[in-house]
Amino acid sequence: MAVDLNMQILIVDDYKTMLRIIRNLMKQLGFNNVDEATDGSAALQQLQRGPPVIAGGVVLLVGIGIYGRCLWEFVQKGRGIPAPIDHPKELVVTGLYRYVRNPMYLGGLAILVGEVGILGSRALLGYTAVWLLVVHIIILVYEEPNLRARFGESYEQYCAHVRRWVPGRPFKG
């Protein structure tokens, strides 16, 4: 994946030393168009260069919120984390998982789509499509069989009522 070293980058931080560190790091990496802002209103003025950037920022923030909420559900309800080193001990069917089986991945997708809107990068759009395909294959080949083996009938009931990707009516199981 080629990176456009002339893309606009906006660094926002109220700590001027951190702004300088990040700006210098980005320049050392070869990025030529690095702007900075020390507060939200200054950043907003710089971001008002077009609707895709603002919409992308909103989608990105929604994605972060979805991902964070799902992570919280995994830790609180599932008593684990979404990683092979500490699988949840309980099947998580609360929160956003009541509406769709893979909300954490949908949050990740929203983050990537938001970045595409912000950066306007075709390469990132292509990466997003490949990422979604790989995630879908992992779900089919690894995650769903693993969950069936670990949670049995309760997972089967959940799958019968909750769709994989498209949110629907809340699960009452």
Chain segment 110-143, per-residue pLDDT in tens: 999 988 888 888 889 999 999 999 999 999 999 9
Q: What is the pLDDT of residues 83-94, one digit of tens each?
A: 767 777 889 999
Q: At what angle do helices 103-119 and 122-138 cross, to 10 degrees?
A: 170
Q: In the prediction, which pLDDT does 51 show? A: 54
- Judgement on whether residues 111 and 66 belong to the same structural domain of the protein: yes
Q: How many CB atoms lie within 10 A of CB 28?
A: 8
- Judgement on whether residues 75 and 32 belong to the same structural domain of the protein: no
In the block, residue with structure tokens 């020390």:
38
The pTM score is 0.69
- Judgement on whether residues 108 and 136 belong to the same structural domain of the protein: yes
If phi > 0 it is left, if psi is from -120 to 50 it is alpha, else beta; for residue 37 that is: beta
How far is the C-alpha of 99 from the C-alpha of 93, rounded, in Å? 9
How far is the C-alpha of 94 from the C-alpha of 87, rounded, in Å? 16
- Judgement on whether residues 15 and 35 belong to the same structural domain of the protein: yes
Ranges of beta strands (E only) in the chain are 8-12, 33-37
Q: In this structure, what CATH number is given to the domain that contains residue 172?
A: 1.20.120.1630
Q: How many domains are contained in the chain?
A: 2
Q: Which structural domain range is residue 95 located in? A: 51-173
Q: At what angle do helices 51-76 and 40-47 cross, to 10 degrees?
A: 130
- Judgement on whether residues 117 and 44 belong to the same structural domain of the protein: no
Contact 111, 60 (CB under 8 A): yes
Q: In the prediction, which pLDDT does 2 show? A: 64
- Judgement on whether residues 125 and 82 belong to the same structural domain of the protein: yes
What the block records as the tokens of 116 is: 């595409």
Q: How many CB atoms lie within 10 A of CB 83?
A: 9
Residues 6 or more apart from 1 whose CB is under 8 A from it?
123, 124, 126, 127
- Judgement on whether residues 33 and 61 belong to the same structural domain of the protein: no
Q: In the prediction, which pLDDT does 52 show? A: 59
- Judgement on whether residues 27 and 57 belong to the same structural domain of the protein: no
- Judgement on whether residues 66 and 112 belong to the same structural domain of the protein: yes
How far is the C-alpha of 58 from the C-alpha of 32, rounded, in Å? 26
Q: In this structure, what CATH number is given to the domain that contains residue 30?
A: 3.40.50.2300
- Judgement on whether residues 161 and 86 belong to the same structural domain of the protein: yes
**Distance of alpha carbon 24 from its chain centroid, rounded?**
27
Phi and psi at residue 35, in whole multiples of 5°? Answer: -110, 165
- Judgement on whether residues 17 and 81 belong to the same structural domain of the protein: no
Q: At what angle do helices 103-119 and 51-76 cross, to 10 degrees?
A: 160
pLDDT-flagged residues of the chain (< 70): 1-3, 18, 45-54, 84
